[in-house]
Structure 1
Amino acid sequence: MSDDIQALARQVRDLRKHRGLTLDELASRVKRSLGFLSQVERGLSRPTVADLTAISEALQVPTTYFYQAVPPREIDWVTRPGERRTLYYAAGVTDVLVSPTLNGRFAMLESHLAPGASSGDGHLDDSSEQGGFVLEGELTLWLEGREGAVTLGPNDSFQLPPHSQFRYANLTDQPTRVLWVFR
């Protein structure tokens, strides 16, 4: 198993225990099976974006809590490609934290979606306001309460209020890159 999935497994397990929750209680809060969360905590399964968002909300931390640490940066208010933290999800999504710090009023992520990648079957419910700018490829968004999906291409953008119920995918055979901003 790769180091990144083992580090994520350890972070989820340690934070759950620190919060005084049983695996069964966390599974109930995130509406996933006990077996699935056990596999996540043992590094046998990689969660989707929707799964990790639900886990972070249930454990009362931002999703960015789970990004891997990197060596200290040369300049603390600048990040260069080799200095960025990365999180690998199931279903072909990789997020790279491009913000130099998480202490400001917003954070920036660059999402890479492989062909056919998605945030997962469930809708995300993130407490932060967020928006995105499609850098490359196509991003399809489904927003709860809205009929149909919206497909965005390069240079298209969107903005969603806190607790928007949504999911996203790259339905093409080409990679997609999106710059996300969270507040």
Structure 2
Amino acid sequence: MTHESSRISDAVTPRSLGADLRAIRKGRKLTLTDMAEALDRSVGWVSQVERDISTPSIADLRRIAEVLGVPISLLFGEATVPPEERGYVVRAGARRAMGSAADGLTEELLSPDLTDSFEVIYSTFAPYAGLEAPIRRETQEVGFVISGRLNLMIGERSFSVGSGDSFRIRGEYYTWDNPFDTPAVVVWVISPPVY
């Protein structure tokens, strides 16, 4: 293998658990020191985990998931991905669960990993579910409604969106609710990633 082909091969090497952890930590605006203190570990250990030099135990992964506010299943999601597809293809049955499923919202990662400048989420909003309080993220987000209906409050504006509609949120406070009998399915693109 030539030096040039080695460099190209390295550029397309699939991402790892460590890279995903680093992306999530940075998305939460946590430093290595913040993370180390929250985990009662050394900065060196956190750095080694993020560089895939050290492998965290199951107990460590539980604690990392807790500190980052993600389900532990997110940290195991790539185990069933064939090596030749890792970083490129996400099969329908192999999506990683995201978020906490609180408020009647189930989210799955459509992006192959969390290391891009955006993430794509498959969101299912349960009938009669909604956010109790507005949230705001330092992101730009676009949603495309696949099926169902969803009510949105973005800033001071109210919208009802349905199949085929799309919407954008730019760092504003927003809430959602699904007061309807059927689930609403939305493909949600978020930049930068927040999970």
Shorter-chain TM-score: which interval? 0.5 to 0.7
| Root-mean-square deviation (Å) | 3.0
Name the TM-score, length of structure 2 as normaliser. Answer: 0.57
State yes or no: 1:69 paired with 2:76.
Answer: yes
Q: Which of the numbers 116, 135, 156 marks the counterpart of 1:145?
A: 156
Identity %: 28
Matches within 5 A, 1:51-130: 67-70=74-77, 71-74=79-82, 75-76=85-86, 77-87=88-98, 88-118=100-130, 120-130=131-141
For structure 1, the residue ranges without an aligned partner over 5 or more in a row are 1-15, 22-55
Contact 1:137 1:176 in 2 (8 A): yes
Give secondary structure in 2 for the equivalent of 1:82.
Answer: helix
Structure 2 CA distance, aligned partners of 1:132 and 1:182? 9
Distance in 2 (CA, whole Å) between partners of 1:65 and 1:160 is 28
Alpha-carbon offset, residue 128 of structure 1: 1.6
1:19–1:169 CA distance, 2 compared to 1 (3 A) = farther
Stretches (4+) displaced over 2 A: 16-21, 61-69
Cα 1:182–1:17, aligned 2, differ >3 Å: closer, same or farther?
Answer: closer
Q: Distance in 1 between the 2:73 and 2:80 partners? A: 17
Instruction: Number of aligned residue pairs: give it.
Output: 129
Which of 137, 156, 163 matches 2:165?
Answer: 156
Distance 1:64 1:108, change over 3 A: farther
Mapped pair 1:165 → 2:165? no
TM score, norm. by length of structure 1: 0.61
